[in-house]
């Protein structure tokens, strides 16, 4: 029986959810010929070696390679091209095509929790995940401001008044991810109210320091686990529907 290999590329990703998630799926579907491997890379150039495996069906891509992998691909989906970040690769007929299923997962999460008064957003971070988030906010006509280390509005000058005006806040940085669970962004939590919705894309730990501090200030909080499940299911669909 021909081996069908999937995997995840990223850096310092031993904590990843994906391996267990997909290996459980293989067991449930009796797919004994499928494997899922964690490829912890120091440099994106190492991906060429992974792509040389003739049995490789596809990959997930995570921090810090969601943008850096693009030059190594042959095609991008329309959505991935607009977003400028990739988290799923399909290999079919020797063509490596990039997709973004983060956008799908975030949209599902957003629509599940958003209320009418969540009309303006702050996006914390400016990497690949933030790009998918901004794409969905634009799709739903929700104006947003980006807050990162090197944007005009940054973690040094954001005020509690700005936080108070933007009732939807999406935390897209890896700060506070396992094992560095005590870390937290510098942020004026005092600007939060019970009308705020905080979506932190971190899923490990379940309650990041950012979520805990937000909840202490009365905000509704959501972690990244549902988004993660939804983007993983979309990736599975891409690997299994589009390959045929």
Of 19, 66, 131, 234, which one is the catalytic site residue?
A: 66
Closest CA to 109 of 10, 199, 193, 204: 199
Is residue 16 within 8 A of residue 62, CB to CB? The reply is yes
Cα-based torsion angle of the residue sequence 101, 109, 63, 36 in order, rounded to the nearest 10 degrees: -60
Residue 174's contacts (CB-CB under 8 Å, 6 or more residues apart) are 63, 202
Q: What residues form DSSP beta bridges with 122?
A: 145, 169
Query: Count of H helices and E strands in the chain?
Result: 8, 11
Q: What residues form DSSP beta bridges with 200?
A: 171
Is residue 197 within 8 A of residue 168, CB to CB? The reply is yes
**CA–CA gap between residue 198 and residue 200 (Å, rounded):** 6
**CA–CA gap between residue 120 and residue 39 (Å, rounded):** 38
Could you give the angle at which helices 225-241 and 18-28 cross, rounded to 10 degrees? 50
Helices (H), the chain: 18-28, 47-51, 78-83, 102-113, 128-139, 160-165, 209-216, 225-241
- Residue 66 known to be catalytic: yes
Q: Would you name the residues annotated as active-site residues?
A: 66
């Amino acid at each position: 029986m021909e081996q069908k290999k999937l995997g995840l590329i990223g850096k310092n990703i031993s904590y990843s959810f994906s391996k267990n998630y997909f290996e459980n799926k293989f067991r449930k579907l009796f797919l004994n010929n499928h494997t899922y491997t964690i490829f912890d890379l120091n440099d994106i150039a190492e991906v060429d070696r992974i792509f040389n495996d003739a049995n490789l069906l596809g990959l997930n891509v995570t921090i810090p390679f969601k943008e850096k992998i693009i030059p190594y691909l042959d095609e991008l989906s329309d959505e991935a091209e607009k977003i400028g970040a990739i988290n799923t690769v399909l290999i079919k007929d020797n063509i490596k095509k990039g997709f973004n299923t983060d956008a799908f997962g975030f949209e599902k999460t957003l629509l599940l929790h958003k209320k009418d008064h969540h009309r303006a957003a702050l996006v914390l971070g400016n990497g690949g995940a933030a790009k998918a988030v901004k794409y969905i906010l634009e799709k739903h006509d929700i104006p947003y401001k980006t807050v990162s280390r090197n944007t005009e509005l940054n973690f040094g000058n954001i005020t509690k008044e700005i936080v108070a005006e933007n009732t939807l806040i999406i935390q897209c940085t890896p700060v506070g991810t396992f094992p560095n669970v005590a870390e937290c962004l510098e942020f004026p939590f005092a600007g939060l109210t019970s009308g705020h919705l905080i979506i932190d894309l971190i899923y490990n730990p379940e309650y990041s320091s950012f979520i805990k501090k937000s909840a202490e200030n009365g905000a509704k909080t959501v972690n990244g686990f549902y988004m993660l499940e939804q983007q993983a299911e979309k990736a599975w669909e891409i690997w299994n529907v589009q390959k045929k």
